[in-house]
Structure 1
Amino acid sequence: MTGAGGGDGGATAIWGRSEQQDFRSRVRGCLLGGALGDALGAGVEFDSLAAIREKCGEEGVTDYVPAYGRRGAVTDDTQMTLFTVDGLIRAHVRRDTGAWHPPTDVHAAYRRWAATQRDWGPDERRADDGWLAREEWLYARRAPGNACLSGLADARMGTLEQPKNPDSKGCGTVMRSAPFGLLVGWEPGLVFQLAVECAAQTHGHPTGCLAAGAFAAIVHTLARGEDLDTAVQRALVQLAARPGHQETTDALKRALGAVRQGMPSPERVAALGEGWTAEEALSIGVYCALVAEDVRHGLLLAVNHSGDSDSTGSVCGNLLGAMHGETSLPPGWVAEIEGRATILELADDFAMEMTQGPALHEPGSASPGWLARYPRA
């Protein structure tokens, strides 16, 4: 095939020690930052701004609001993001067998996530599932989107030619797509394409797919050390060549325009939408990251609005974390986040695979421990 599944991702990066450390910090920041935004919005996801202020005070959310029986609980946004990472690692490991089709490996990972939404716990008999699918805390239903569930309900993989849920453009594509942008050794166009192809596995509307591609492209530029405005402008260039791009392009341009309209406020966020659709979640997340004084300010702005607060918070957190690294994140929030050990372990595995993969596995041999974590099957 043509597209992301048929290429090799571009030139392999050459990593010195300082570059490896910087990359790991950005990967950790991206995944943890997304989880923080997700958790800050989880307790008010379905509330209006008026209801949020009635519940939390005039300033709205200023700290974790208990959800799912605890502070710092994450939702399907973080769950699916982690399985995106798992699928990308598995794709690189499985390449040793001669098989190279990352959308297939990401789809298999999403199917493992879908099992966490219907099963009581991990099936220890399924050794090929790898370590992430054996994390019991992930077996929790946290308001998953219907399109994600129905798109993964059977084994057929949605493609751009035959997508699942062809009329759906929900934000479930965007909220899970930051990890594609962390493939910093890949060419930007292939990163965009891979995110688009994997979005079609659950949401087939062009806007749902292209918003995911644009988000991945923005994260990709940030993870390479450039600024957010530059990242958005480059994503707009990529979008312009894609049929059906106008909704996503307009949403990003509205985010850029809102920056110039004065001091950030919940009302300016509301003018960008509620975040239930892919382009609105992307627009709100980008706007809040652009105007953020620091990570805390950006995340609170991203969740204090009427709409899909956990998804917009997650997108904003992914961006800020990729931009500034893990040490920029508020330590008090990091300390309480659900699944922190798993998130950090997976982030470090991803960074190690991307920077030192040849030392972990090659066609003729591999670290037994690595294959136990990320089986080639």
Structure 2
Amino acid sequence: MGVMTSGGVTGAASGAIWGRSEQQDFRSRVRGTLLGAALGDALGAPLDGLALDSIHEAYGADGLTELASAYGRRGAITDLTQLTLFTVDGLIRAQVRRDTGAWHPPTDLHRAYRRWRATQSDWGPDERRKEDGWLAREEWLYVRRDPALACLLGLGDETMGTLEAPKNPGEAGAEAAARSGPFGLLVGWEPQLVMQLAVECAAQTHGHPTGYLAAGAYAVIVHGLARGESLDAAVQRALAMLAARPGHQQVAEALQRALGAVRQGIPSPARVADLAGAGTAEGLLSVAVYCALVGEDVRHGLSLSVNHGGPSAATGALTGGLLGALHGETALPPAWLAELEGRPTMLVLADDFAMEMTQGPALHGPAGSSPGWLTRYPRA
């Protein structure tokens, strides 16, 4: 539950009592969301910038159906996964800071995204900055994987974009949506708060309503899936919530197109390309919902989502996040997971997130705190 003021997200608390089976299911969905998004990102990375004819020429009539080499290795992730990991880090840090009374999650997320921005310019971690926490000291993250200019510019200074004064007000790309799955894992929050937080944080880099509302809708859909709802029901809730938002029409129409396309026969790359449109956020969100609905399994859904002439890594990441939240970790292809770059880091981060959301008071509540936890996720 939580409250909303005119200033945005101000408070939320789950109040939930977690049994063991509920904790295990939640952890599986958290892992599934992060790993699924990363797998989709890695699957699509070699295809970014390729026309469909070029994809077929390189990979055959069925397109790419297995991990292929990008950035010098199979299973390489892009900036989309990097930013998703820092979203998780920022959410954990926000929860830890609640005990201080100085709680404003968009600010904590902005600080996390600024830590990602440093990985794109620094040679490596600065061990002297203890306030950065453990994720920013992971050396493998200090690589540039074609980061979106909107993210570099939006996070290039200390000024945080807001809905009243967003960064890059003309930017409607899907990068903000692709990093927003973790907001949906705040299962103890009301859906309205999940959407508001995702929208506010998206406006830090993507200031066009289509860009930030696609992020909010995606977070709400993941939220429904993480709570055990069907994908169709989660999309319907997102549509109902979008209706109250100025500038929502493009995103809402794209989601309706995805639902309608399910009834139009056998899935095909042509239908995916039609849904993707110009490659902006609403089209790629539409592709993700469609592929998650019609995919026979995770492998098929992901393969369908990346074989088109648009931003394949983004559609793969969005689709993978939905499928992972829907089915959990065990539905993901083991052979792909074995080659996924950064998987050990993702597993630790996912489990830390699940522990914070279910056991947070025992880690840093008024009754006592774990020094090790506060070293990993400093309040500063």
Name the TM-score, length of structure 1 as normaliser: 0.98
Task: Report Cα offsets for 1:155-201 as digits up to 9, x if no partner.
Answer: 00000011101111111111100000000000000000000000010
Distance 2:165 2:171 in 1: 13
* 1:168 has 2:179 as partner: no
Pairwise CA distance, 1:57 = 1.2
Provide the residue aligned with 1:196 in structure 2.
Answer: 199
Provide the residue aligned with 1:267 in structure 2.
Answer: 270
* 1:339 has 2:327 as partner: no
Q: Number of matched residues?
A: 377
* 1:247 has 2:226 as partner: no
Task: Report Cα offsets for 1:199-247 as digits up to 9, x if no partner.
Answer: 0101111111111000000000000001000000000000001111000
Task: Work out the percentage of aligned pairs sharing the same amino acid.
Answer: 72
CA contact (8 A) 1:28 1:321 kept: yes
* 1:63 has 2:95 as partner: no
Distance 1:182 1:343 in 2: 15
TM-aligned CA distance change 1:71 to 1:312, over 3 Å? same
Distance 1:342 1:301 in 2: 27
Pairwise CA distance, 1:120 = 1.1
Paired residue type of 1:265: S
Provide the residue aligned with 2:36 in structure 1.
Answer: 33
Distance 2:91 2:200 in 1: 13
Distance 1:266 1:194 in 2: 34
TM-aligned CA distance change 1:286 to 1:320, over 3 Å? same
Q: 1:329 aligns with which of 315, 332, 341?
A: 332
Secondary structure of the equivalent of 1:120? coil
Q: 2:88 aligns with which of 63, 82, 85?
A: 85
Q: 1:311 aligns with which of 302, 309, 314?
A: 314
Q: 1:99 aligns with which of 96, 99, 102?
A: 102
* 1:43 has 2:46 as partner: yes
Task: Report Cα offsets for 1:74-102 as digits up to 9, x if no partner.
Answer: 00110000000000000000111111100
Q: 1:297 aligns with which of 286, 294, 300?
A: 300
Name the TM-score, length of structure 2 as normaliser: 0.97
Q: 1:358 aligns with which of 354, 361, 364?
A: 361
Q: 1:181 aligns with which of 179, 184, 188?
A: 184
Query: How large is the Cα RMSD of the aligned pairs?
Result: 1.2
TM-aligned CA distance change 1:143 to 1:257, over 3 Å? same
Pairwise CA distance, 1:274 = 4.8
CA contact (8 A) 2:9 2:196 kept: no
Pairwise CA distance, 1:3 = 5.8
* 1:141 has 2:164 as partner: no
CA contact (8 A) 2:41 2:77 kept: yes
Distance 1:35 1:120 in 2: 24
CA contact (8 A) 1:3 1:194 kept: no
Which 5+ residue runs of structure 2 have no aligned equivalent? none
Pairwise CA distance, 1:54 = 0.8
Task: Report Cα offsets for 1:4-62 as digits up to 9, x if no partner.
Answer: 85432254221000000000000000000000000000011110111111111111101
Distance 2:366 2:309 in 1: 51
